[in-house]
């Protein structure tokens, strides 16, 4: 029996991973659109608790190949504690080859290059970073906690360390009109500067209780319709010059699941988007009732 505090979240690619709760909540927990950790006060769990959970997983599963370190932004932990957790995991699970972690930009910036390289050498294989947007003004509006330059530096630090970087961006975050196009173009630029190994585009969904939800209720923010979202995705893809990056829009929030490797599949992805945008036929899209976080 695994023990967790509150709701637990993980990236879609960690579906087959054992989730080890190292922190409770998110160290930043201030993004206007996010409701994932609003019911939790951030704290770091003790090494004794974490190691006890690892031993329970050993008894329950025997061996593990993939582990994900939760909650939001477990990278905010002290490096020596993370190293101890990684060493303990690899000692108890001989088949382990993958350990992932959510990494907030502020927490990455607080680590030195040497610390990140030590975590890589200890077996941290992938970090998940929410870039959300490359629009400087929008980064401030959503209270991401970092500037454009700081987000670039955070992403590049992970890439330089050798830890795989999986970045996410959020379609629809700027609302409709000119700001939508500006958001998409700026997001392509920031991704080009960071050059992540994996890039996922999610679509904004309004979560009750968030600042964004209140803005929608007050009529201060308008959501994009499905085809406006695809227009925004097209601008994003058109502007991306990343090489060897695996792109996905297969999250449950998206209207159109897409996957491919950039730059190799860029033209075919653009062709698909153009075809659907021309037809304006909602039968090609995921229906609203099937979308989720």
How many domains, the chain?
1
Query: What CATH code is carried by the domain that includes residue 252?
Result: 3.20.20.70
For residue 230, pLDDT beyond 60: yes
33 part of a folded domain: yes
Domain of residue 197: give its range.
12-279
pLDDT for residue 2: 64
pLDDT band at 293 (very low <50, low <70, confident <90, very high): low
Question: Are 187 and 219 within 8 A, CB to CB?
Answer: no
Q: Is residue 284 part of a domain?
A: no
Residue 7 lies in a domain: no
Encode pLDDT of 72-95 as tens digits: 889 999 999 999 999 999 999 999
Per-residue pLDDT tens over the stretch 245-279? 999 997 888 888 899 999 899 999 999 999 999 99
pLDDT of residue 8: 75
Q: Does the structure show a pLDDT above 70 at 35?
A: no
| Residue 81 pLDDT | 97
**How many CB atoms are closer than 10 A to CB 34?**
23
Is residue 152 one of the residues assigned to a domain? yes
Band (pLDDT 50/70/90 cuts) for residue 109 is: very high
Q: Looking at the domain assignment, is residue 117 inside a domain?
A: yes
Asked if residue 257 is part of any domain, the answer here is yes
Is it the case that residue 48 has pLDDT exceeding 80? Answer: yes
Residue at token pair 């330089």: 160
User: Residue 293 domain-assigned?
Assistant: no
Overall pTM surpassing 0.85 (yes/no): yes
């Amino acid at each position: 029996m695994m023990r967790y505090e509150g709701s637990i979240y993980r990236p879609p690619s960690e579906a087959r991973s054992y989730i080890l709760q190292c922190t409770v909540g998110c160290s930043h927990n201030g993004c206007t659109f996010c409701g994932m950790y609003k019911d939790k006060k951030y704290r770091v769990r003790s090494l004794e608790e974490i190691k006890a959970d690892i031993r329970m997983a050993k008894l329950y599963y025997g061996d593990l190949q993939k582990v994900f370190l939760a909650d939001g932004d477990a990278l905010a932990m002290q490096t020596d504690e993370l190293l101890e957790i990684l060493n303990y995991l690899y000692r108890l699970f001989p088949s382990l080859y993958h350990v992932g972690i959510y990494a907030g930009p502020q927490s990455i910036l607080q680590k030195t290059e040497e610390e990140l390289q030590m975590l890589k050498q200890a077996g941290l294989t992938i970090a998940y970073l929410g870039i959300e947007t490359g629009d400087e003004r929008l980064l401030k509006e959503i209270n991401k906690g970092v500037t454009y330059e700081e987000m670039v530096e955070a992403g590049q630090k992970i890439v330089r360390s050798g830890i795989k970087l999986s970045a996410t961006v959020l379609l629809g975050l700027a609302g409709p009109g000119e700001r939508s196009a500006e958001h998409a173009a700026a997001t392509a630029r920031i991704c080009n500067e960071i050059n992540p190994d994996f890039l996922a585009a999610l679509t904004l969904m309004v979560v009750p209780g968030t600042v964004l939800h209140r803005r929608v209720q007050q009529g201060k923010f308008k959501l994009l319709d499905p085809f406006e979202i695809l227009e925004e995705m097209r601008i994003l893809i058109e502007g991306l010059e990343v090489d060897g990056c695996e792109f996905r829009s297969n999250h449950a929030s998206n209207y159109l699941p897409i996957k491919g490797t950039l730059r190799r599949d860029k033209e075919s992805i653009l062709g698909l988007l153009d075809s659907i945008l021309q037809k304006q036929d909602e039968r090609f899209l995921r229906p609203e009732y099937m979308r989720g976080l």
